[in-house]
Structure 1
Amino acid sequence: MEEENVRKNRETSNGSIDPSVISLPGDKVKPAVLKRQIGLISGISLIVGTMIGSGIFISPKAVLEGTGAVGPCLCVWAACGILATLVLISIVNCMSVKLASYVQNIFTVAKLFIILVIVVAGIVLLAQGNTKNLSNSFEGGTTSFGAIGLAFYNGLWAYDGWNQLNFITEELIDPYRNLPLAIIIGIPLVSVCYVLVNIAYFTVLTATELLQSPAVAVTFGDKVLHPVSWIVPLFVVFSTFGAANGNCFTGGRLTNVAGREGHMIKILSYISVKYYTPAPAIIFNGILAIVYIIPADINTLINYFSFAQWVFYGLTALVLIVFRFTRKEMKRPVKIPIAIAVLVVVVSCYLVLAPIIDKPEVEYLYCTLFILSGLPLYFLFVFHKFHWTRRIMRPITLHLQLLMEVVPPEKIE
């Protein structure tokens, strides 16, 4: 029966397979579109769960290295909160939107639990008078232009994920209400948690001990939670898994829409006829994630990821400013004050340039070249669409469709 369906396949005008061919015999063919299944609670969980990953349990060391003292360190964590206002996961997200949402909700609860444990332990220790590390907290602080920038890189790494909900507005129930509400609730919640967690760390660890710690949360647990200190690394794993799941969920939607709008190859815009998920985009992002972790050095990954991320944050905000004057007639369902866009551009310029000016490294050039390496592929396979590139992509697209059982998205009026 499958061979008969393959023989009967009908190619559409863009070289893809008709949805009715891939569907199972006797099945009612449903429109291949993403459905609105994400509510307010899941939206908040997505923001909180994506932001809280491994960062808060690892980054404090690098933030302290960049600031030099407890006081400036805590200021950076608070400022990062203001600025914010890997194969198993792909499979889960390819299989079901609801399953991915349930996974996100469960792991968000788990990571908030360990955050609560650390914060409560810190409050108890403060009540017992363990304030030595917090006294004279600005003494010995550094004012290096680039070092502060690197401190923000690591702090903002822990806060990254604040913008992820924007990528799934098509699947968010009542987005005009739930999108701003989830952001207003989620980001301040994470910001308060992060500052309190860092205060808890400093009730137990001196600045020197924190800098020498390979994983701050684990060292904290060994000192405070013995003999149940094993729960800290366990829940750090839960936290990291939940953040990766959230990024996989939202990143797949971003890539999917880019393919749909013609900014990437069309196969990335296709939808699974069985699960109604953007499976090709999720798999593509999963492969990229595997490439990114090859260096295996978390600090290097953070620095160069943050460098690339803030380049694009700045460019995005710059486009908003330019469009405000050049495309005044465009419909803007959500309009932000231009002053905020200007602030983001200024902050982005600082975060991108400060570390390079203070401590130039050839790795920043490699990162830039890696970003620019996508341009030849874009011009050859997306922008110009030469005859020979179409001949290459058409059979590849057809085989991938059959393999993954995906079809082009359909629009519903």
Structure 2
Amino acid sequence: MEKVSDNRQSVTSVTMDSKGQKLNLKREVGLVGAVSLIAGTMIGSGIFMSPQSVLFNIGSPGASLVIWACCGLIALLGSLSYAELGTIIPESGGEYIYMLRTYGKVVAFMFVFSFIIVMRPASTTGIALSFAEYIVAPFYDGCTPPELVVKLVAAGALLVLAVINCMNVRLAMHIQMLTMVVKVLTLAVIILGGMVMLFKGHTENFQEPFEGTDVRISSIGIAFYQVLWSYDGWNTLNYITEELKCPEVNLPRAVLIAISMVTVLYLLVNVSYFVVLTPRELITSSAVAVTWGNKVLGDWGWIMSVAAALSAFGSLNGSFFSGGRVCFVAAREGHMPDILSMAHVHRLTPSPALIFTTIISLVVLIPGDFESIVNFFSFTSWFFYGVTLSGLLYLKIKKPELHRPYKVPIVIPILILIAAVGLVLAPIVDNPQIEYLYVTLFIFSGVLVYVPFIHYKLCPGLLRKVTIILQLFLEVAPAEKNL
């Protein structure tokens, strides 16, 4: 493993001027913005789309609630472990930068190759599809909307958010905070509606809550994948550490507040679903929040469709905000074309990286469907989460002298590493599918790309000419680390 760079104090960001100074991304994300970014990214499509899939796979309301609680604990402990990594290595880029500083260039490139081509596009595409389904649902009452319409609306959402995030960081954060308010209010309505029905005696689904539980490893693993999709975003701040004010304080504080809040909300919302809907109604629903709204709110049920769409839109915005930074950081480290490491000279946003990731997401959108996207995204993500957490264990054991403004007991990353290994192996062992082999081969195929194009730098002249043309066209310039 490579030596981890020493911690350095944060410096005031500087903007680029005509004299050729390099850019720094501004530290504009405070504690409130950080909590909004985490919770706003997490609360998206999952809580409105996944409950029916979880119940279908696990078979009982009681087991479903246990899995939702366990996944909240996994997300919280994982985020606290990442918070220590973020204070040891105070750089943006999340898993990529941590692997680069602990395992070296090849492993880091394998991650960023998978992240940019599969993981982040799959995440944004899945959220965009759920957003589109909720937007078009009121126009196709009682029938399934055409796939082409859904995908066109999803593509439109991707393009709109790409423009917003390229224009202004503050605008993106304002959208995040506004949609966060909408999300919390929406979940509060669902919770209150469920509590009213519960007090009226609608407890049928809780008479024998664990009856019919499917204990097969593959069923439990897929159920965990679906729920962890709803918690995806717990590591969002680690992608933008250089834009976070006082990261040594705000990083652990924000994840503790945000993930605890989201876990409680998710559990209460699921209770409300089980109080209002029968298991059959929940499993057969394509949009459980809309089905719930139609039963509880009657003619006003369409409000839930709009609220769920806004929730997914906010989650998609958070995914854009953080995901583009990984591509940006990888290019800055020489693992992607130089143009992707540049920021706009006036707006100070990593616009080339955001444009590039948007294009990849639009390509993934063409053949994608929601459930398969979730499963393979989760498989790939938890493989790399495990690699990252093993790097934290290495630093704890071999580099105890490193400055740690925040640290967690070693047992916590060990537990999450065990969970990661289980989540990767469970579906394969119990119900092997050829698709998992394809995903694994794709992960390791990054080495075949790394050797000729990164290590030996094939076609440097062509890339240099393209970079100059794009730099002038996009009005961007190189950016420095903001440490």
Q: Aligned residue for 1:359?
A: 431
Superposition RMSD in Å: 1.9
Q: C-alpha separation between the residues in 1 aligned to 2:162 and 2:443? A: 23
Corresponding position: 1:186 with 2:177 = no
Q: Aligned residue for 1:3?
A: none
Corresponding position: 1:406 with 2:476 = yes
Corresponding position: 1:78 with 2:53 = no
- What is the correspondence of 1:215-364 to structure 2 with a 5 Å cutoff? 215-328=287-400, 330-364=402-436
TM-score normalised by the chain length of structure 2: 0.77
Corresponding position: 1:55 with 2:125 = no
Q: C-alpha separation between the residues in 1 aligned to 2:403 and 2:396? A: 11
- Residues matched between the structures, number: 388
The 1:410/1:313 distance shift into structure 2, 3 A limit, reads closer
Q: Aligned residue for 1:39?
A: 30
The 1:176/1:370 distance shift into structure 2, 3 A limit, reads same
String of CA shifts for 1:254-277, please: whole Å, max 9, x gaps. 221222223333222111102101
Partner SS, residue 309 of structure 1:
helix
How much does 1:411 deviate? 5.4
Which amino acid in structure 1 is aligned with residue 28 of structure 2?
A: Q
String of CA shifts for 1:93-145, please: whole Å, max 9, x gaps. 11111011001111111111111111110011011111111211011111111
Which amino acid in structure 2 is aligned with residue 273 of structure 1?
A: V
Contact 1:84 1:162 in 2 (8 A): yes
The 1:411/1:234 distance shift into structure 2, 3 A limit, reads closer
Partner SS, residue 227 of structure 1:
helix
Q: C-alpha separation between the residues in 1 aligned to 2:397 and 2:468? A: 43
Q: Aligned residue for 1:14?
A: none
- What is the correspondence of 1:100-179 to structure 2 with a 5 Å cutoff? 100-179=172-251
Structure 2's unaligned 5+ residue stretches are 1-14, 77-157
How much does 1:31 deviate? 4.4
How much does 1:231 deviate? 0.7
Q: C-alpha separation between the residues in 1 aligned to 2:21 and 2:195? A: 55
2:279 to 207, 214, 217: 207
How much does 1:296 deviate? 3.0
Q: C-alpha separation between the residues in 1 aligned to 2:393 and 2:447? A: 24
Q: Aligned residue for 1:6?
A: none
The 1:411/1:77 distance shift into structure 2, 3 A limit, reads closer
Q: C-alpha separation between the residues in 1 aligned to 2:480 and 2:238? A: 21
String of CA shifts for 1:40-88, please: whole Å, max 9, x gaps. 1111100110001100001001111221111000000111111110221
Q: C-alpha separation between the residues in 1 aligned to 2:440 and 2:481? A: 37
Partner SS, residue 407 of structure 1:
strand
Which amino acid in structure 2 is aligned with residue 406 of structure 1?
A: V
Q: Aligned residue for 2:139?
A: none
Q: Aligned residue for 1:69?
A: 60
How much does 1:334 deviate? 4.0
How much does 1:383 deviate? 2.7
Q: C-alpha separation between the residues in 2 aligned to 1:117 and 1:383? A: 55
How much does 1:333 deviate? 4.5
The 1:199/1:412 distance shift into structure 2, 3 A limit, reads closer
Q: Aligned residue for 1:10?
A: none
Deviates more, 1:84-93 or 1:330-339: 330-339
2:448 to 372, 376, 387: 376
Q: C-alpha separation between the residues in 2 aligned to 1:376 and 1:100? A: 36
Q: Aligned residue for 2:465?
A: 395
Which amino acid in structure 1 is aligned with residue 473 of structure 2?
A: L
Q: Aligned residue for 1:11?
A: none
The 1:296/1:164 distance shift into structure 2, 3 A limit, reads same
Q: C-alpha separation between the residues in 2 aligned to 1:209 and 1:256? A: 44
Q: C-alpha separation between the residues in 1 aligned to 2:260 and 2:358? A: 30
The 1:246/1:297 distance shift into structure 2, 3 A limit, reads same
Contact 1:264 1:378 in 2 (8 A): no
Deviates more, 1:204-213 or 1:75-84: 204-213
Q: C-alpha separation between the residues in 2 aligned to 1:329 and 1:283? A: 40
Q: C-alpha separation between the residues in 2 aligned to 1:329 and 1:310? A: 29
Contact 2:242 2:482 in 1 (8 A): no
Contact 1:295 1:301 in 2 (8 A): no
Structure 1's unaligned 5+ residue stretches are 1-18
Partner SS, residue 300 of structure 2:
coil
How much does 1:332 deviate? 4.3
Deviates more, 1:266-275 or 1:118-127: 266-275
Which amino acid in structure 2 is aligned with residue 43 of structure 1?
A: A
Q: Aligned residue for 2:270?
A: 198
- Percent sequence identity is 47
Q: Aligned residue for 2:141?
A: none
